[in-house]
Amino acid sequence: MTSQSDGCPASVSANSQKILSIIKWWIKQIEQNKNRPVLDLSASSIQKLDPSFTCSEDTHTLILDRNHIMKLDHLERSPGLQQLSVASNRLVRMMGVSRLTELRVLNLPNNSIGYIEGCQ
């Protein structure tokens, strides 16, 4: 199988290449913003956070607005978060929120939330 200049096999479709470029862009954004107090990943076509995703200790605000997130897990890996915004997603479930002891602002409009772990 031959490879293209971007390292992808020649058989990879144009659609797959577009998805790969979005993923590469998203990873680059995370790396560039990882140690900033505000991590804004709005409108990044995110469907879910990777289980290994964490914010740096310096990050106090995480903005995930206008993505395609249905379930938000692994928030406990970023215990220093003070503000979390997940507005205008497809969110139906959140896990780990109760372990965010520093959280002061939770912004969730325009979702279809049915369950938030730790909230009754």
Tell me how far apart the alpha carbons of residues 33 and 58 are, in angstroms, rounded to a whole number.
11
Question: Measured over all CA atoms, what is the biggest interatomic distance in the chain, rounded to whole angstroms?
Answer: 55
Both structure tokens of 104:
């002061």
Residue 57 pLDDT:
86
Residue 18 pLDDT:
75
* DSSP result, 83-103: EEE--SS---EE-SGGG-TT-
User: Is the overall model pTM greater than 0.75, yes or no?
Assistant: no
The class that CATH gives domain 38-119 is: alpha beta
Residue 1 pLDDT:
47
**Residues 88-103: tens digit of each pLDDT:** 999 999 988 889 999 9
Residue 4 pLDDT:
55
- DSSP character at residue 120: -
Residue 56 pLDDT:
85
Look at the block and give the residue holding tokens 């879910």. Answer: 48
What tens-digit pLDDT sequence spans the chain (120 residues)?
A: 455 555 555 555 677 777 777 777 767 766 665 556 999 999 999 999 888 888 888 899 999 999 999 999 888 889 999 999 999 999 999 988 889 999 999 999 999 998 888 776
The answer to whether 77 and 98 have CB atoms below 8 angstroms apart is no
Both structure tokens of 34:
């990882």
Tell me how far apart the alpha carbons of residues 35 and 120 are, in angstroms, rounded to a whole number.
33
Burial degree of 39 (CB within 10 A; 0-12, 13-18, 19+): buried
Helix (H) or strand (E) segment spanning residue 32: helix 14-33
